[in-house]
Each structure stands twice: as structure tokens, then as C-alpha cells.
């Protein structure tokens, strides 16, 4: 095991308390801290003894990743773990599938920064509010009809037919003045008013009403496959994803949006229940099932005893609370809250002791 120093991304929507408190630093922090990256993505790789994990892997991919991982994914860590701390809503967004990412990146499309897909899952550490996946069109129509805006009539008609594609396109292309008028309705739902106050005239405040609005309890998760329209609103969570930074935004952001490409990759399917519950693996260990080959996430709570987790590929361990000692068979490290470690691929699994809580990212066998 080797200690891993993550990289903090200071996006404007970030919290000034969550990551600092996790790491035992003074609160509030000097500025917003949105994400703590714990991986080898080239945009912000974590470091081991001051050296980029990406550089270490590039120098010895077979030793650090194992031959099976290199054969499947090439000489790169195929996942990225993050701590995400949202104090304000993130952009309305979706991610491409693997084929779309390869094709569009190869063609030089400006909205693609790499050739990989980005399926992702977020596990709530605090209560976590999010929008995830399309809900029943009739339920969305019931909300939008309260705005009493004639400009929304074609959208309501599309929703009545179950035509989510036409409804999304109709909303996302509304002029700012029309959006402002619609969201100012006296009976507008609280979420409409909240998003419109943060992003005046942004049609994302209306598109958001087509999505499932959930509040996760700690330990619950949401799974976001390719083409899933979503937005995080508030809270702290551990996020695990395929190692990509391809994001197609459609609103609720000052960053560039690409409506045409977003509409091209979206999957207009109703997601009845976006919440993923933890499944027990063995005493002290749970996981959240996700149909993806790049990553698997476990939570380990030793509770004062010894817990064995039999994952042997390249592993990233984050201590999320208390203290844990983790051993990969080649050496042990003690981690306090907010500290992390990297274990190269090897024949032994991981052994945990202590009274804390750890999240472990690895590659499925």
C-alpha cells in the first residue's frame, strides 16, 4: 500500500466545508472545493510521494495494473474515484456511450476531451439531492401545467403522447424571455423557482421537471449510464466512474452547452426507480451493483475487528470516517478521514482493521 494524495477541483458550485471537514482542515475553506479526484486521469492525477499516479502507471503498467487489466483497458487505470461536495446545483448533463465517445473524439468534436465513455455512480455520504433519469411523462406534464404558460402547450402535448424527445427539444430551445415568464408563475413548484433564481432565463429549470427528483439517504446511490440526463443539486457523496471527462451540458451552468450533441446522445427512456440500495457482501462489507466492467465499489466498516475484501486488481482506498488500517499483503498503511491509498495489482486481497469507514474502488474480476 502506498499513500495517495488526491487533487481538489475548485468549481464554483463546491462546498467550503465538506471536503475540508473530511480531511480535518479548518472550516470554511478559503474557496469552494467541489471534487477530490483520486485516480490517474490525465487532467488531474493523484500523486504518490509527489509523483503523478498516471506517470507511475505509464512507467510500469503491468506491475501496477496487472496483465488482465492492461489487456482489457490498455495501460491506464480504467476508473476514477471522487469525493463530490455540492453546495449549489451542477449542470444538467449526460455522458456518451463508448462508441459515441470513440467516434466523436476521433472526429475532433469540441465537446469530447477523450475517447472513453463515462458511466458513473454516486453513493451518498450525507443526504444528497439529485435529478436523475426521466420520470413518467404524465407526472412531468402535471408539474409543467401549473405554470400556465401557453408557450408550453406543444411540450404538454408531446408529454401527453409519451414523446420525451420532442418535449426535451421543445423546452431546451425556448427563448430566455419565455422561460423567465413561465418560471415566474405564482404557483410554480419550489424546484422551478429555486433553479430559475440561480439561472434566470435558463431552460434547464424547466427541463429539470422531466426528471426524477430524489433525496438519497446516506448509503443510497444513483446509477447513471450513458445517455442518462441528470444533475446533482446538493450534498456530499463518493462518486465512481469510468476514467473519462466527457460531459455534454444542456443548461443550469455558465459553462459552454452543446444542445445538439446532448440531444443526440440522450436515451429517452423512463427510469422508474433511480435509487440503488447497498447489497451486503459479507459482514462489514457492502457494494452497489452496476452493469459496467471498469469498476466496482465497496464500503468497508471493520467495526473493531478484521475484515477481508478479496479484490486483487489495482485498488484505491478512501477513508471516509474514523481511522482504518489497510494491508494489501505487501505493506499496511493507517488512514484517517479524507486520506487515501493505492494498492497495485497483486495476489492478495485487502485486510482492514479499525473503527472507521472506507470506500474501495477496484476492477471487477
Task: Give the mean pLDDT of 228-256.
Answer: 96
Residue 111 DSSP label: T
The answer to whether 249 is a known catalytic residue is yes
CATH 1.10.1370.30 is the classification of domain 2-133+213-259+270-276? no
Q: 185 falls in which pLDDT band (50, 70, 90)?
A: confident
Tell me how long the chain is. 365
Q: How far is CA 298 from the centre of its chain?
A: 16
Report the alpha-carbon distance of residue 88 to residue 305 in Å, rounded.
39
Q: How far is CA 322 from the centre of its chain?
A: 24
Report the alpha-carbon distance of residue 250 to residue 256 in Å, rounded.
9
CB atoms within 10 A of CB 314: 25
Strand partners, 84: 35, 237
Same fold, 2-133+213-259+270-276 and 280-362: yes
Residue 110: its pLDDT value, please? Answer: 96
Give me the chain's average pLDDT, please.
96
Residue 157, Cβ density class (10 Å: 0-12 exposed, 13-18 middle, ≥19 buried):
middle
Report the alpha-carbon distance of residue 250 to residue 2 in Å, rounded.
40
CB 167 within 8 A of CB 159: yes
Indicate the domain borders of the chain: 2-133+213-259+270-276, 137-201, 280-362
- Phi/psi for 340 (5° steps) reads -140, 165
CB 62 within 8 A of CB 70: yes
Task: Give the mean pLDDT of 254-259.
Answer: 92
Q: What is the pLDDT of residues 115-167, one digit of tens each?
A: 999 999 999 999 999 999 999 999 999 999 999 899 999 999 999 999 999 99
Report the alpha-carbon distance of residue 225 to residue 121 in Å, rounded.
8
Single out the catalytic residue among 104, 249, 299, 301.
249
Preceding omega of 167 cis (within 30 degrees of 0): no
Q: What is the pLDDT of residues 78-103, one digit of tens each?
A: 999 999 999 999 999 999 999 999 99
Alpha helices for 184-229 (secondary structure H): 190-198, 204-207
The C-alpha cell that represents 215 in the structure block = 433525496
What is the residue-wise DSSP string for 292-337?
A: -SS-EEEEE--TTSEEEE---SSEEEEEEESEEEEE-SS-EEEEET
CATH 3.40.50.300 is the classification of domain 280-362? no
Amino acid at each position: 500500500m502506498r499513500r495517495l494524495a488526491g487533487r481538489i477541483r475548485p468549481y464554483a458550485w463546491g462546498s467550503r466545508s465538506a471536503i475540508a471537514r473530511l480531511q480535518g482542515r479548518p472550516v470554511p475553506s478559503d474557496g469552494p472545493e467541489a471534487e477530490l479526484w483520486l485516480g490517474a486521469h490525465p487532467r488531474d492525477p493523484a500523486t504518490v510521494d509527489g509523483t503523478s499516479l498516471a506517470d507511475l502507471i505509464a512507467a510500469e503498467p503491468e506491475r501496477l495494473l496487472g496483465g488482465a487489466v492492461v489487456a482489457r483497458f490498455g495501460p491506464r487505470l480504467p476508473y476514477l474515484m471522487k469525493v463530490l461536495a455540492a453546495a449549489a446545483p451542477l449542470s444538467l448533463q449526460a455522458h456518451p456511450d463508448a462508441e459515441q465517445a470513440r467516434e466523436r473524439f476521433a472526429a475532433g468534436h469540441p465537446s469530447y476531451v477523450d475517447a472513453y465513455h463515462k458511466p458513473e455512480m454516486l453513493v451518498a455520504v450525507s443526504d444528497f439531492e439529485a435529478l436523475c433519469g426521466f420520470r413518467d411523462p404524465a407526472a412531468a406534464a402535471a408539474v409543467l401545467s401549473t405554470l400556465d404558460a401557453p408557450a408550453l402547450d406543444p411540450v404538454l402535448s408531446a408529454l401527453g403522447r409519451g414523446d420525451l424527445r420532442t418535449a426535451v427539444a421543445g423546452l431546451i430551445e425556448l427563448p430566455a424571455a419565455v422561460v423567465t415568464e413561465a418560471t415566474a408563475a405564482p404557483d410554480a413548484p419550489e424546484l422551478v423557482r429555486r433553479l430559475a433564481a440561480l439561472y434566470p432565463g435558463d431552460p434547464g429549470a424547466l427541463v429539470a421537471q422531466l426528471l426524477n427528483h430524489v433525496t438519497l439517504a446516506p448509503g443510497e446511490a444513483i446509477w447513471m449510464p450513458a445517455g442518462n440526463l441528470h444533475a446533482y443539486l446538493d450534498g456530499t457523496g463518493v462518486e465512481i466512474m469510468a476514467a473519462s471527462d466527457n460531459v455534454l451540458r444542456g443548461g443550469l451552468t455558465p459553462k459552454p452547452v452543446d444542445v445538439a450533441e446532448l440531444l443526440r446522445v440522450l436515451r429517452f427512456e423512463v427510469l422508474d426507480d433511480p435509487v440503488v440500495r447497498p447489497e451486503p457482501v459479507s459482514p462489514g462489507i457492502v457494494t452497489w451493483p452496476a452493469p459496467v466492467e471498469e469498476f466496482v465499489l465497496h464500503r468497508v466498516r471493520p467495526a473493531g475487528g478484521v475484515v477481508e475484501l478479496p479484490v486483487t486488481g489495482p485498488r484505491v482506498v478512501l477513508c471516509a470516517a474514523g481511522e482504518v488500517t489497510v494491508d494489501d499483503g505487501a505493506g499496511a498503511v493507517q488512514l484517517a478521514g479524507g486520506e487515501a491509498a493505492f494498492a497495485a495489482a497483486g495476489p492478495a486481497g485487502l485486510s482492514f482493521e479499525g473503527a472507521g469507514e472506507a470506500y474501495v474502488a477496484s476492477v471487477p474480476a
